[in-house]
Amino acid sequence: MFKEMENFRNTTGKPIKSEKLYLTIQQKLKIDVKKLGVLDEPAQKDLTDDALKRLEKTDVGLEEKNYAFLVLASINQIKIPTNWLEFLLQELYFGKYSETSYTRSLIATSLFPRFNQENFGAAMISFLRHSKMQTNSERILREIKKLSLVRQKNLKK
């Protein structure tokens, strides 16, 4: 499924739209996404924790990383610690797979809804200090918005 989504991005130059994504999930996984319910908070927390544990491993391949990023992008109500927000920023710019546009979009999608998380600013400051990038937080935020597969309204930043 990830390969098909990446092929779509490579062919069209654009991320897959939600209707095409729903159709792909329905065809590949035999699941009707529109009929799925929302997971309760403990289930969301367990999935988020599992995704972070997968990213902790040093020998993680692209598919497993994409799975973890997809979970973090999909479950955006669970707050993640500052060090993990900074890790996502590092992965976006300097990660082993940061040249893969689909992976970058997944990372951006996992970061975008967390702009309003109270520790996001601290993660951004720490990232800029450690990375020594010649940019500022506003440019990074704009790039994350641009790369994100989801658009949200009413963000504070």
Q: What is the pLDDT along the chain (157 residues), one digit of tens a residue?
A: 777 777 888 888 887 777 777 777 777 767 666 667 677 888 889 999 999 999 998 888 888 888 999 999 988 889 999 999 999 999 999 987 777 788 899 999 999 989 889 999 999 999 999 998 888 889 999 999 999 887 654 444 4
SS3 60: coil
Q: Tell whether 58 and 81 lie within a shared domain.
A: yes
In a domain, 105, yes or no: yes
Examine residue 155 and state whether it is found in any structural domain, yes or no: no
Q: What is the pLDDT of residue 83?
A: 96
Residue 7 shares a structural domain with residue 46: no
What H or E segment, with its residue span, contains residue 73? helix 62-74
Structure tokens at 134: 């010649």
Q: Please, how many CA atoms are within 13 Å of residue 24, restricted to the half-sphere of its CB?
A: 14
Q: Do 27 and 75 belong together in one domain?
A: no
- Which pLDDT does position 51 carry in this prediction? 93
85 and 17 in a common domain:
no
Alpha carbons 74 and 48: distance in angstroms, whole number: 10
Rounded to whole angstroms, how far apart are CA atoms 122 and 36?
A: 35
Q: What SS3 class is residue 35?
A: helix
Q: Is residue 152 part of a domain?
A: no
Whether 154 maps to a domain, the answer reads no
Domain match, 65 and 128 both: yes
33 and 43, same structural domain?
A: no
Is residue 96 domain-shared with residue 110, that is, in the same domain? yes
**What is residue 157's predicted lDDT score, i.e. its pLDDT?**
44
Length of the chain: 157
Residue 43 has a pLDDT of 85
Question: How confident is the model at residue 118, as a pLDDT?
Answer: 93
State residue 100's pLDDT score. 76
- Do 16 and 81 fall into the same domain? no
> Does residue 156 form part of some domain?
no
Q: Say if 65 falls within a structural domain.
A: yes
Q: Indicate if 94 and 82 belong to the same structural domain.
A: yes
Q: Do residues 81 and 121 touch, judged by C-beta distance below 8 A? A: no
- Predicted pLDDT of residue 154: 41
- Asked whether 119 and 85 are in contact (CB, 8 A), the reply is yes
Q: What pLDDT is recorded for position 101?
A: 83
Buried b / exposed e along 59-97 (16+ C-beta atoms within 10 A): ebeeeebbbbbbbbbbbbebebebebbbbbbebbeebeb
- Flag whether 110 is in a domain: yes
What confidence score (pLDDT) does residue 107 get?
93
Give the structural domain span for 96.
Answer: 38-147
Distance of CA 48 to the CA centre of its chain: 12
| pLDDT at position 110 | 93
| Same-domain pairing of 32 and 52 | no
Give the count of domains, the chain.
2
